[in-house]
Amino acid sequence: MPGQPVIEIENLYHTYMKGTPMEHTALKGTSMVVNEGECIAIIGHTGSGKSTLIQHFNGLIRPISGKVIIDGVDLSKKRIDIKALRRKVGLVFQNPEDQIFEKLIGDDIAYGPFKLGLPLKEVRERVKWAMDMVGLNFEEMKDRQTFALSGGQKRKVALAGILALQPKILVLDEPTAGLDPRSRNEVLDKIKFLNKMENLTVIFVSHNMEEVAYLADRVYVMANGSDVLSGTPEEIFTDKEKLQRYQIGTPETVQALYRLKDLGYNVDTAAFTISEAANEIIKVLANGEGENHG
Amino acid sequence: MEPIIALEDVSFTYKINEDSSVPVLKNVSFSIYPGEYVAIIGHNGSGKSTLSKHFNGLLTPSSGDVWVQGHNTKDESKKLDIRKTVGMVFQHPDNQIVATIVEEDVAFGLENIGVPRAEMKHRIDEALEVVKMSEFRKRPPHHLSGGQKQRVAIAGVLAMQPDCIVFDESTSMLDTFGRNEVLQAIRKMNKMGMTIITVTHRMSEAAEAGRIIVVEDGKIVMDGNPREIFKHKQVLMDLQLDVPAVSQMADIVHSQIPMFSKELIQEDELINEVNRVSKARSGEMV
């Protein structure tokens, strides 16, 4: 069960290059609450302010106007312990290449824990644990060169590097973009495990509605710099009017069910998984409910 | 018909240092013909990205040859012709955006090949329209989101009017609507006769192509039309791949209702099949 709020965003504004002709307001009064242990998806059309918002979570961007409270710490205060904040909130960016700079995989994942001044033995244990969490074999992979890795493996290394810091809150920007179907499922399962079994609070930005449906307890929809809608995946994906108004995509399964529904078939569009969606089709065909149509 | 791109016994090896090297492509041969829509699939690390970089000479084979409209990609003097023929759109738009204003970025390639001013404006307008980025033309690209940047990058390639465009996981950073817009543009360009090669992890996207090439361990392991390829679900699963969601749904429905075809790969087909079976069954009941 979700606990206390660990992230509270209130009426947050952010303007890039203020006072120049290129001034651009990316956040226009966003509010959001994330409770401990929750898994939250942030979705929204390109340019809706998602990336700007999540960079506030670990202090990469400081609030200009509005409130950002992370685990009780108000980030609008002038003096904050930014190191402690970064330790608490791990951010994994979209492009894993940007986060990998050591020659060997093990060294790269160990970099953060070393910087924390942990003893060698504990660093090693954390690296091993983190690699295990993302499905990289410690003995086999720790001395491999990072540059020769594929996109999916780099993603896993970048994720392990953040996990090795043992953050309380994990923030992921498009965690599976560019991964093949199996690597994708592996990374999703690991995130789910960390969230449910290790009680890590997870916030992820995604355009992939399959993974939103699979992972998220709640979803925030962003549009034009503010949060316009929130709810469980069921609530979001069954609200057709809002899906259209905010141009929110749905999983492929739901997309097909909506088309059937439009044709007069009595299907439940809250069926996300392949088997649920297939069962909806079986149900209407078996009951002969297709008679309604045509 | 002459192929637009032909690979003859292509091998490629990344050299790490004097003593060690990693073979990535191993004796690959196939041809792509004008107007084809080809999807290349394979797991991360299978060699498909390295393969796609051979299509316009970004990489040249360690052994074997790649021919683009009859020009060998190893021939330095033909490099510009080859790049004009085959355009590339990559996964990370940040790596391919150079200018500080969107329309200047789209213009960049055109300036390099000396397109006259008036013609340039026309091409930029058209390209930005196809990717639905016209309203952003005066914006600095670094403030755009990933999906918007990607559409700018695609416009930059489109404006060059190549005969063939290679999309290297170009939709993997796009949202559903952005992806659908790009896919629509791709379909449109293909209908107009442009050759499309797309490297993708999304099986429903591969199902849109006319032909799928499956890469594993630097070799071509399957090459055929999507319907044939997606019949081999277990083989694909073993290769860390999958079949489209539609095929999986059809398979389950078929197991309960045998007259429902299990060989479906596109959403339209699924809808049509539900209509067909529904009609047939309500007929039975009357």
> What's the average model confidence in pLDDT over A245-259?
88
Nearest CA in chain A to B250: A278
Give A81-120 pLDDT, tens digit per residue. Answer: 998 999 899 998 877 667 788 889 999 999 989 988 899 9
Instruction: Check residue A257 and report its DSSP letter.
Output: H
What type of residue sits at position B258? P
Instruction: Report, in angstroms and rounded to the nearest whole number, the Rg of chain A calculated over CA atoms.
Output: 21
Is beta strand B164-168 parallel, antiparallel or unpaired with respect to B86-89?
parallel
pLDDT for the residue A97? 67
Nearest CA in chain A to B267: A256
- Kindly report the nearest CA distance between residue B217 and chain A, in angstroms: 12
pLDDT for the residue B31? 98
Per-residue pLDDT at A25 exceeds 70: yes
Rounded-to-integer distance, Cα A165 and Cα A127, Å: 9
Give B150-190 pLDDT, tens digit per residue. Answer: 788 889 998 999 999 999 988 877 777 778 878 888 888 89
If contacts are CB pairs under 8 Å, which of residues 212-241 in chain B contact chain A?
Answer: 240-241
What type of residue sits at position B41? I
| Element of type H or E holding A12 | strand A5-16
Rounded-to-integer distance, Cα B148 and Cα A160, Å: 29
Scanning A105-251, the segments in alpha helix (DSSP H) are 105-115, 120-134, 138-141, 151-163, 181-197, 209-215, 233-237, 240-245
pLDDT for the residue B24? 93
More confident residue, A111 or B15: A111
Burial of B79 from C-beta contacts in 10 A (0-12 / 13-18 / 19+): middle
> What's the average model confidence in pLDDT over B112-122?
90
Angle, helices B102-112/B117-130, rounded to nearest 10 degrees = 130
What type of residue sits at position B241? L
More confident residue, B90 or A8: A8
User: Which residues of chain A does B260 touch, with a Cβ-Cβ cutoff of 8 Å?
Assistant: 285
Per-residue pLDDT at A65 exceeds 50: yes
Highest mean pLDDT among A225-229, B19-23, B282-286: A225-229
> Which candidate, A142, A70, A184, places its Cα nearest to that of A192?
A184
What type of residue sits at position A131? M
> Which candidate, A61, A100, A97, A91, places its Cα nearest to that of A205?
A91
Is beta strand B86-89 parallel, antiparallel or unpaired with respect to A65-70?
unpaired
**Best to test chain B binding among A23, A155, A207, A221 (most B CBs inside 10 Å):** A207
Q: Which of A94, A152, A248 sits opposite B146 (nearest CB)?
A: A94
Chains A, B: CB pairs < 8 Å? 167
Strands across the sheet containing B211-216: B86-89, B164-168, B195-199, B37-41, B211-216, B219-224
Q: Which CATH superfamily is domain B5-243 in?
A: P-loop containing nucleotide triphosphate hydrolases (3.40.50.300)
> Which candidate, A191, A94, A97, A183, places its Cα nearest to that of B172?
A94
Q: Which of B241, B250, B256 sits opposite A180 (nearest CB)?
A: B241
CB of A51 less than 8 A from some CB of B: yes
Band (B253; pLDDT cuts 50, 70, 90): very high
**CB-CB under 8 Å, A184 with B278:** no
**CB-CB under 8 Å, B277 with A284:** no
| Element of type H or E holding B246 | helix B245-256
pLDDT for the residue A146? 86
**Tokens describing residue B171:** 């939709």
pLDDT for the residue A289? 54
Per-residue pLDDT at B284 exceeds 70: no
Per-residue pLDDT at A246 exceeds 70: yes
pLDDT for the residue A52? 92
User: Which residues of chain B does A45 touch, with a Cβ-Cβ cutoff of 8 Å?
Assistant: 175, 177-178
**CB-CB under 8 Å, A148 with B22:** yes
Domain locations in chain B? 5-243, 244-286
Q: What is the SS3 string spanning A59-99?
A: CCCCCCEEEEEECCEECCCCCCCHHHHHHHEEEECCCHHHH
Q: Which residues of B47-56 are buried (b: 16+ CB within 10 A; e: fewer)?
A: bbbbbbbbbb
Q: 3-class SS at B108?
A: helix
Q: 3-class SS at B75?
A: coil
Cross-strand bridge partners of residue B25: B12
> Which candidate, A165, A21, A189, A1, places its Cα nearest to that of A85?
A165
* All residues at 6 or more sequence positions from B179 whose CB lies less than 8 Å from its CB, including other chains: A207, B171, B205
**CB-CB under 8 Å, A182 with B241:** yes
Per-residue pLDDT at B96 exceeds 90: no
Would you tell me how many other CB atoms lie within 10 Å of the CB of residue B30? 16
**Best to test chain A binding among B152, B240, B278 (most A CBs inside 10 Å):** B278
pLDDT for the residue B170? 84
**CB-CB under 8 Å, B245 with A252:** yes
> What's the average model confidence in pLDDT over A41-53?
87
> What's the average model confidence in pLDDT over B80-109?
86
Rounded-to-integer distance, Cα A169 and Cα A195, Å: 10
**CB-CB under 8 Å, A46 with B144:** yes
Per-residue pLDDT at A41 exceeds 70: yes
| pLDDT, chain A, mean | 89
> What's the average model confidence in pLDDT over A43-72?
90
* All residues at 6 or more sequence positions from A98 whose CB lies less than 8 Å from its CB, including other chains: none
- Say what the pTM is: 0.84
More confident residue, B109 or B175: B109
Q: 3-class SS at B32?
A: strand
If contacts are CB pairs under 8 Å, which of residues 190-219 in chain A contact chain B?
Answer: 207, 209-210
Rounded-to-integer distance, Cα B28 and Cα B12, Å: 9
> Which of B2-11, B55-64, B180-189 shows the lowest per-residue confidence on average (mean pLDDT)?
B180-189
Per-residue pLDDT at A294 exceeds 50: no
pLDDT for the residue A1? 55
pLDDT for the residue A293? 47
User: Which residues of chain A does B262 touch, with a Cβ-Cβ cutoff of 8 Å?
Assistant: none
